[in-house]
Structure 1
Amino acid sequence: MVTSQLLSSIPGIRHAFGSAAELVPAALAPVWPRRPAKRQVHGTRVAAITDAQQEVGDADGFHTRAAGIPVSIITADCVPLLLARRDGSQVGAVHAGWRGLQDRIIPAAIAAMGPAASTLVAAVGPTICVDCYEVSEELADAFAASFGPAAVPRFRHLDLRAIAGQQLRAAGVQEIEHVGGCTCCRRDAAGEPFYRSYRRGDRGSQMHSGLYITPEGEK
């Protein structure tokens, strides 16, 4: 199971990132039927979740203070970002592909979660690496103009992790962890792909990553 040491250090929450072997992490199973009904569209809408099985519609960011309701996203190369208050009182999940990063969904999500961004911790999960992520010269130039040379460290190759980290720090998040490695090139001990990857050719089989505040009494 792919997890974050930072998030694991927070009391009263459970989390995990999906993999090819576990598209829906077992850690989310106790509350999985209570998840919101949503549709990710590579946009910047961030939804507040207050009720189990809430109808959300189109959204790519989610946050809640309600116990027992998971906030999650699906990815297969894009950035899965999980956020939590250091005291465990609020959690959030963000789907950030290149479109979302370009339109700055990460600062939008942090603003939607309320003030005191310095009390949030962030885990950037399995994401396509810079070596595997070649894009058009036009798109690379646009990112370099918006986010500087660190966003495009090689000709026509975007570094989604670097861009996510830059946006988190600019928004005031101080504790950031990168976990999981590359969705496209990481392999397991048998040499099989460890994750689903759209760029590598996987279609219709994305991974779920999420977290939730544990209800009182849950072990």
Structure 2
Amino acid sequence: MVTSQLLNSIPGLRHAFGNAAELIPAALAPVWAQRPAKRQVHGTRVEHVTCARQEIGDADGFFTSAPGIPVSIITADCVPLLLARRDGSQVGAIHAGWRGLQDNIIPAAIAAMAAAASAPALVAAVGPTICVDCYEVSEELADAFASRFGAAAVPRFRHLDLRAVAELQLQAAGVREIEHVGGCTCCRRDAAGAPFYRSYRRGDRGSQMHSGLYITPKGEK
């Protein structure tokens, strides 16, 4: 389980990013049964979660102000992004692969969260994501990202930096507190030398990792 110091600094929240040993982090277990029913499709639909076990359908961004309902995403090498208001009144989770980043899911999610509630500034934790060294893409895709987001998006020939693009979009949307945690899903190893995460690029198949957060209900310690 991987956590963010930035999110840990906000009272009344629980969160975690999964890994290969703990696909569903223990921190989410108390409310896991209350999660929405959804299917991620590398799209840009962002859904406001207002009740437990909400039927959402296809979506890749989720946010809520309701205590006890987790918003979560499943990832392998894409960006798992967790957002929270500084006062802990609203939380969000975004699945952002290259398609989602290209199609502006991050600004769409932040705009949707702002429209639902006037509250203090957001903070963001960018979780375990494939690193630029491991993420080689087509020249056409690299050129498209370099043209749109600049050299930071493609620091090496045909190598795309998803974290850098996510941070650029967060900053452009007004998010000033951003933390990167967890390292690379493809090349990070544990103390015994085994892969720390599941990675699509490395050839892993089957269950992927869950990341999420929730506002703790009153009385929960």
Alignment partner of 1:50 is 2:78 = no
For residue 10 of structure 1, report the CA deviation from its aligned partner.
Answer: 0.2
Alignment partner of 1:88 is 2:107 = no
**SS of aligned partner of 1:113:** helix
Alignment partner for residue 133 of structure 2, among 131, 134, 141? 131
- Give the ranges of 4+ consecutive aligned residues of structure 1 lying more than 2 Å apart after TM superposition: 115-118
Identity of aligned residues (%): 85
For residue 204 of structure 1, report the CA deviation from its aligned partner.
Answer: 2.1
For residue 9 of structure 1, report the CA deviation from its aligned partner.
Answer: 0.3
For residue 205 of structure 1, report the CA deviation from its aligned partner.
Answer: 1.7
Matched ranges for 1:13-92 at <5 A: 13-92=13-92
Matched ranges for 1:64-213 at <5 A: 64-114=64-114, 119-213=121-215
The answer to whether the Cα contact below 8 Å between 2:86 and 2:120 also exists between their aligned partners in 1 is no
Residue deviations 1:173-213 (CA, integer Å, cap 9, x gap): 00000000000000000000000000000112210000000
Q: Distance in 1 between matches of 2:119 and 2:201?
A: 33
Normalised by the size of structure 2, how large is the TM-score? 0.98
Once superposed, what is the RMSD of the aligned Cα atoms?
1.0
Q: Distance in 2 between matches of 1:121 and 1:11?
A: 13
What are the ranges of 5 or more consecutive residues in structure 2 without an aligned counterpart?
none
Q: Distance in 2 between matches of 1:205 and 1:147?
A: 32
For residue 117 of structure 1, report the CA deviation from its aligned partner.
Answer: 8.4
The answer to whether the Cα contact below 8 Å between 1:80 and 1:94 also exists between their aligned partners in 2 is yes
Residue deviations 1:103-149 (CA, integer Å, cap 9, x gap): 01000000010166871000000000000000000000000011011
How many residue pairs get matched?
A: 219
**SS of aligned partner of 2:131:** coil
Letter in 1 for 2:145: F
What are the ranges of 5 or more consecutive residues in structure 1 without an aligned counterpart?
none
Normalised by the size of structure 1, how large is the TM-score? 0.98
